[in-house]
Structure 1
Amino acid sequence: MISRRMFVAAGASAALSACAALTPPAPPPPEKPVYPPLPAHYGAITDEPYPVPAVPEGIVPPHLWRQQVANPYPDQPVGTIIVDPSAGQLHLVESAETAMRYGAGTGADAYSWSGDARLQFWREWPVWKAPDSMIARRPEFAPYSVANGGMPPGPGNPLGARAFYLFQNGKDTLYRIHGACEPKYLGKAVSSGCIRLLDQDVIDLHRRARHGARVRVLPAVAPAAILGLY
């Protein structure tokens, strides 16, 4: 015979089971995307003054690989460099029909300036000199100030293998296109800096770019993720 106590306990157990059945299961974690093998030009570079390691597989999506594409800016002169911070892309106009497209990482400085500039000069394996405004925020960079001669080139230098210096009306915009982008940050708006390419790509851009070329930086709205950090 079922006692009242057993009946009540069974009923409570059934109610709990019903509640549990109505609770949706936790969604599975998102699957990590699977990318095809990288092109050979993202392998290690050993004929530079400093070694450039290969880009790891499975990190950079294909739409950020260096590749020739249909020119999205056919009205721009050949040799023009167009930077789109919002898209995380840089185009070098080759002709009215084609452009070389590069994936780019962007930072706070990439959202503080836009317009047309001139590629005044470039440096191979440049010295990085921390500006005073950065040292005020990050005192640990004081050893690399202008007064102290900056950080020597090589692995760990924030400018990487090449740096392009942009001027407007004869004045330095303090805006740079340079290497040393970590692959995991390509196409993303993180950290400080201007427009950062993979070292393999900034070396390639250096081979193709024209001294004195127009550089057009498109306006962009800074993502909330980097607002207030700099």
Structure 2
Amino acid sequence: MPDKFLPVKFTASIYTNNQEITPEPNLMRALYQDLAKFEVIPGAYNELDTKTSNIVTNRLRFYKLDNSLTINFGINRIDIQANYNATGVFNSIQAFCDQVIDILEIINKKYEKKSNRLGIVINLTSQNLDAKALTNDFKPFYHTTELFENSVPTDWNNRANYRYIRDFGSKKELCNNVYIFSYGAAEISINGIIVRQNAVNLQLDINTIPEAQNIRFSAVDYTNFYNNSSKWLNDFYQSLESRFNKS
């Protein structure tokens, strides 16, 4: 049985076009001032543009010096990542989602980003991870969540999915809600030594069909998605804690 689930990192991904957000000095300075409350500094990283030119491009990022928070402006997505292994301080899933909403509000004041896919992943680890037991816990859980209360999900390989029609005002569009439970690995620091352990990933996604380039989720959708995600993911996290942390 796992002795304790430890959060390693949380990642929120907003799939959108960021061609105009580059490491240009004036742009970096303006965003640096807007994001000052998060104590992040500007920087850059390389990303391969696989959709158009297949060349390496220079992209903008903001990060905390202790590596506990990173905001990457990729070509086609914004990734906001909290790395709790960096500090050993665990904020709640709700606190992370509140932070994501706050950051997106700041970005949207300048760029009004729209997206056809939103996602969040929380990465947890434990010294004694029982994959079979966790799988058995996952399947009955997602059927009871609000996410699937009005639809029978498709269940495949620890992946629950259902489709629904979303009214975007001028047009109705087919959307997908996806709940994914998967296994991986995580590196954590124990007494200053990096240890590699088994890990579990809990992921939520909402997306429109790829062809719907003119139908995009807006700021109100970001807020709703991350507020709801924090509840659903926290419910499952608590169910893991209560089931496997009994002693």
Q: Shorter-chain TM-score: what band?
A: under 0.3
Which structure: greater helix fraction? 2
Higher strand proportion (structure 1 or 2): 2
TM-score w.r.t. length of structure 1: 0.27
Q: Which has the larger radius of gyration?
A: 1
TM-score of the aligned structures, taking structure 2 as reference length: 0.25
